[in-house]
């Protein structure tokens, strides 16, 4: 995905979450619902998260420097990791704390109809944001399933937005259920239980994101299909075999490839250089993301 990929989904989520946060907090002030408060904090965290994702995309576009010769592509991974931490601390931890407090010390809801109306409107807005993210993700995910797309994507923004929006929608449904059950039964403890459920949901999503972003920060190599393509393109022309290869994503749009190649015998220096150049050209033609390629001719000492 290009540097601009995912921006539409992020911006849609940013404006949706900002509006939802204001509405939810107003609803909390009117009703005193802990589910509304938890969802307010959740939306504030999500709004901040979208801002961080946009900041990461912008920071990653800086030119390489002497101190950072491979550029700043991983800033997108760093900011996405911060987003996951914020979702866990501001979203999950706060919701769990508030939910447990309301379960232990339940308080009756005031004008719950206001909370219901706000939650229904929020579901509509969040659905729009989620639909935007799904539409944009479909353009790049190909035929793989959604879970595999989230696990294998090298571009962090869309998986983050997808999981955040899915969690937000589920959280709104849980909040609506908590408020609704509190009204129907006259027992405000259900509002607290709904808040606890929201906290657990956000915790699961945050942990998934933390694990995935940590993996990208440490450095992931090419996917299996990408590696097969690279090896196939290298082992052509005057290259007999790929002796050794290592790959790593320096950012979502930049793959580093380093390999040792066994060339056909009897080539002079100029022919060796041409064979290496041709191999690089073949790889870049098939896999443009492989922008940094370092190839070394070597003797094939593999026992036969």
203 and 228 fall within a common domain: no
1 has pLDDT over 50: no
Residue predicted with more confidence, 304 or 159: 159
Indicate whether 1 belongs to any domain.
no
Q: Are 43 and 67 in contact (CB under 8 A)?
A: no
| Beta-carbon count within 10 A of 115 CB | 29
**Among 218, 243, 262, residue at a domain's last position:** 218
CATH code at position 286: 3.30.70.1350
The answer to whether residues 213 and 106 belong to one domain is yes
Do 231 and 213 lie in a common domain? Answer: no
pLDDT tens sequence across 96-108: 888 898 888 888 8
Q: Are residues 244 and 284 in the same domain?
A: yes
**Contact between residue 248 and residue 221 where contact means Cβ atoms under 8 Å apart:** yes
Residues 140 and 202 in one domain: yes
**Triad 259, 262, 263: Cα angle to 5°:** 120
Statement to judge: residues 27 and 141 lie in one domain: yes
d(CA 250, CA 264): 32
Q: How confident is the model at residue 6 (pLDDT cuts 50, 70, 90)?
A: low
Q: Is the dihedral of CA 30, 36, 41, 46 positive or negative?
A: negative
Give dist(CA 218, CA 226) in Å, integer.
19
Q: Is residue 95 part of a domain?
A: yes
Q: Looking at residue 70, which CATH number applies to its domain?
A: 1.20.1510.10
Residue 247 inside a domain? The answer is: yes
Q: 140 and 29 in one domain?
A: yes
Please give the backbone phi and psi of residue 91, each rounded to the nearest 5 degrees, phi first.
-90, -70
Of 184 and 87, the one with more pLDDT: 184
| Integer Cα distance of 208 and 150 in angstroms | 10
Tell me the pairing of strands 239-251 and 292-297.
unpaired
| Single pTM value for the model | 0.80
Instruction: Count the neighbouring beta carbons within 10 Å of the beta carbon of residue 230.
Output: 24
Q: What whole-number percentage of the chain has pLDDT above 90?
A: 31
- Of residues 53, 66, 59, the one with CA closest to residue 17: 53
Count: domains in the chain: 2
Provide the token pair at 62.
């800086």
Higher-confidence residue of 215 and 139: namely 215
Q: Are residues 114 and 173 in the same domain?
A: yes
Which of these, 87, 88, 78, 36, lies nearest to 57 by C-alpha position?
78
Q: Is the dihedral of CA 89, 35, 20, 147 positive or negative?
A: positive
Q: Same structural domain for residues 290 and 143?
A: no
For residues 193 and 230, membership in a common domain is answered with: no
Rounded CA-CA distance 66/230 in Å is: 29
CA dihedral 146, 148, 153, 157 (to 10 degrees): 40
- Please give the residue range of the domain that contains residue 262: 224-297
In this model, does residue 301 exceed pLDDT 80? no
């Amino acid at each position: 995905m290009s540097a601009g990929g995912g921006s539409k989904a992020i911006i849609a989520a940013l404006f949706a979450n900002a509006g939802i946060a204001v509405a939810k907090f107003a609803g909390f002030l009117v009703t005193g619902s802990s589910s509304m408060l938890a969802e307010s904090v959740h939306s504030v965290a999500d709004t901040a998260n979208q801002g961080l994702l946009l900041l990461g995309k912008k920071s990653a576009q800086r030119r390489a420097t002497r101190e950072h010769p491979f550029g700043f592509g991983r800033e997108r991974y760093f900011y996405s990791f911060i987003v996951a931490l914020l979702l866990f601390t501001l979203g999950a931890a706060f919701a769990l704390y508030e939910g447990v407090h309301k379960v232990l010390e339940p308080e009756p809801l005031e004008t719950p109809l206001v909370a219901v109306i706000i939650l229904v409107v929020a579901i509509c807005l969040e659905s729009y944001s989620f639909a935007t993210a799904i539409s944009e993700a479909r353009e790049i995910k190909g035929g793989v399933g959604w879970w595999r797309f989230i696990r294998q994507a090298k571009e962090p923004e869309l998986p983050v937005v997808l999981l955040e929006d899915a969690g937000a929608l589920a959280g709104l449904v849980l909040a609506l259920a908590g408020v609704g059950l509190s009204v129907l039964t006259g027992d405000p403890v259900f509002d607290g239980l709904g808040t606890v459920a929201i906290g657990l949901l956000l915790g699961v999503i945050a942990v998934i994101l933390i694990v995935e972003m940590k993996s990208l920060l440490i450095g992931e190599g090419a996917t299996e299909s990408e590696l097969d393509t690279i090896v196939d393109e290298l082992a052509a022309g005057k290259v007999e075999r790929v002796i050794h290869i290592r790959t790593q994503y320096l950012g979502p749009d930049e793959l580093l490839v380093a390999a040792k190649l066994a060339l056909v015998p009897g080539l002079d220096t100029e022919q060796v250089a041409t064979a290496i150049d041709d191999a690089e050209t073949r790889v870049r033609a098939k896999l443009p993301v492989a922008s940094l390629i370092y190839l070394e001719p070597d003797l094939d000492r593999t026992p036969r």
